[in-house]
Structure 1
Amino acid sequence: MAMDYADYGAGLGAAGTVLRSNAMSAGLETPVPTCPGWTVRDLVVHQGMVHRWATDVIEGRGMGDGKEHEESGRKADDLLDWFDEGWAGVLHALGSAPADLDVPFFLRTGDSPLVGWARRQCHETVIHAVDAMAARLGRTPGGEELWFSAELATDGIDEVVRGFIPRKRIGKLRSIEPLTIMIETTDTGAAWTLNVSEEPTTTVIGGVDSPDVRLSGPALDLYQALWNRGGGIDDPSGFLAQWRRDVVIEWA
């Protein structure tokens, strides 16, 4: 299901371009409707900080809290130039790292550290480029307005449900009565089953015949929905309301 390593670099590069151009068009003080309480300035500072933080890890300087990078963004004379430097830095770090890169990686998806960091930075930048687009549009963009492929979106869904959901800090999805949640893309043929109970949620690749909850739709819409960015998907049980409450992925 995972894309090629080179695809992640291409996805990260394209997403940086989209984020920057939409941030410039929207203006730095414009609210970001998909990130309540943030302006475009906050969004660009955050993304530039994450790029620098990831570069530090990839280049062996350890996994800090990113505060010094956030502060440098807040003080930058030209914030978009500052963003460009961090974006170019993480692309260079990924492009020059060895295949057997030996650094920490925090998602247990089975990816090597090099592929894991490329994948994470790709999707991190893609979803925040969606946010920048939302700021320019004043609303969540529809799937038909997005620039990336259904295959990339499918890979991003996989990262959410197999990488983030099982994490103790993120995975707060619980149910007194056991639930099976089937997530399926209607265009790329991918499916996952989440087993939800009072214990940490587990995820397996593939669907089941009679899930308690079914969330389905085109991969681009499903990707946005599972990242709590809207998206028109089929949710007959109304389960997304619980998802939005219990699945909150944020910087800590």
Structure 2
Amino acid sequence: MPTSLTFAAHLDGLREALLAFTRYADRAGLRAGVPTCPEWDVRALIAHQGMVHRWAAGLLAGQSKETAALEREGRSAVDPVEWLRDGAIDLAAALTRAPETVAAPVFLKDAPPPRAFWARRQCHETTIHAVDAMAAAYGGAPEPAQTWVGVDLALDGIDELLCGFLPRPKSTLRTATPVVFAVRPDEGEQAWVVRVTEEPAVTTAVGRDDPALDAADVQVRGGAVDLYLRLWNRAPVSADDGLELWREKSRVVW
């Protein structure tokens, strides 16, 4: 699964997301609830993200990190925001130091090589969880225009979600009655056809004028940033957007 952004662009996206995350976490306060992840408050959100940063950095360095211990460390940190920042800086350094041929585990279907995989994955993981911090500060999911997310990053993130996450055996987006989604961003030259059945979803990336798109049962259209947030369940809910099944069945916290 080739990435549409460069390694450097993913590192830039990670840094931008970290800045937004710390800004909105500070603004919301550690005890604030996270509307887009109702089981978490901001302290738990920070502990989760900081744990993942440290875990990913460890994988790139060939080290095994105990995730539960890392998360406890984050929850008990005297300054959780600074703890989050330290872990992200260490992750960026680990990515930069790692050779292009580094051997490290990956977990998405048809994943790019490990160094590129982890730069992309942590760019989008941190971006989505920074949106969660923004939702905690705002008291609800933000509108796309309120975020810092750019079109190119959003398109890359949609591709990672649809082509990497949904086809995994553990994906929960399933239905007894087959449904085909056409995901059609307003920008870019690519669109996606997602066939949902009782088995893991099958995603096909196509050109934006491919006839298969018109034959889909559900047309999912909008700006790239809007679709990025909606497909990750991080946008205000619209009752007529055709994504009721998506929201009900897809559990996408990562």
Normalised to the residue count of structure 1, the TM-score between the two structures is 0.92
DSSP-derived class of the 1:175 partner: coil
User: Percent of counterpart pairs with the same letter?
Assistant: 40
Alpha-carbon separation, structure 1, partners of 2:147 and 2:235:
13
Q: Structure 1: state its 5+ residue gaps.
A: none
RMSD after superposition: 1.8
Alpha-carbon distance in structure 2 between the residues aligned to 1:218 and 1:189: 13
- Residue in 1 aligned with 2:144? 143
- CA offsets 1:150-192 (integer angstroms, 9 cap, x no match): 11011101111001001111x2322333332111101234310
| CA spacing shift, 1:232–1:190, aligned 2, 3 Å | farther
The 1:220–1:58 alpha-carbon spacing in structure 2 relative to 1, beyond 3 Å, is: same
The count of corresponding residues between Structure 1 and Structure 2 is 247
Aligned position for 1:26: 28
For residues 65-117 of structure 1, the C-alpha deviation after alignment (integer angstroms, 9 at most, x for no partner) is 51110011122111112111111111111011001011111112341111011
Task: Look up the match of 1:181.
Answer: 181
Q: Name the SS of the counterpart of 1:107 in structure 2.
A: coil
SS of aligned partner of 1:7: helix
Q: Which residue of 2 aligns with 1:191?
A: 191
- CA apart distance, 1:202: 0.7
2:95 matched to 1:94?
A: yes
Contact 1:19 1:133 in 2 (8 A): yes
Residue 225 of structure 1 aligns with which residue?
Answer: 230
Name the residue aligned to 1:244.
Answer: 247
Question: Match of 2:35, SS?
Answer: coil
| Cα 1:167/1:226, change in 2 over 3 Å | same
Contact between 2:144 and 2:235, CA under 8 Å: does it hold in 1? Answer: no
Q: Distance in 1 between matches of 2:145 and 2:237?
A: 11
* SS of corresponding position for 1:216: strand
Residue 17 (structure 1) aligns with: 19
Calculate the TM-score normalised by the size of structure 2: 0.91
- Residue 9 of structure 1 aligns to which amino acid in structure 2? L
Please tell me the residue identity of whatever aligns with 1:230.
A
Q: What amino acid is the match of 2:40?
A: W
Choose from 211, 224, 229 the match for 2:216. 211
Q: For residue 218 of structure 2, what is the amino acid of its counterpart? A: V
Conserved 8 A contact 2:111-2:164: no
What is the rounded CA distance, in whole Å, between the counterparts of 1:19 and 1:198 in structure 2? 36
Contact 1:143–1:231, Cα closer than 8 Å, also in 2 = no
Match of 2:135 in 1: 134
**Deviation (angstroms), 1:231:** 4.6
Q: How does 1:40-119 map to 2 (within 5 A)?
A: 40-62=42-64, 66-119=67-120
Measured against aligned partners, the alpha-carbon deviations of 1:18-72 in whole angstroms (never above 9, x if no partner) come to 100111111111111111132111111111111011111111114x551110011
1:175, 1:37 → 2: CA distance?
25
> What is the distance in 2 between the residues matched to 1:46 and 1:110?
23
State the alpha-carbon separation in 2 of the partners of residues 109 and 130 from structure 1: 27
Alpha-carbon offset, residue 199 of structure 1: 2.5
Structure 1 Cα separation of the partners of residues 137 and 126 of structure 2: 17
Q: CA deviation at 1:239?
A: 3.5
Deviates more, 1:171-180 or 1:144-153: 171-180
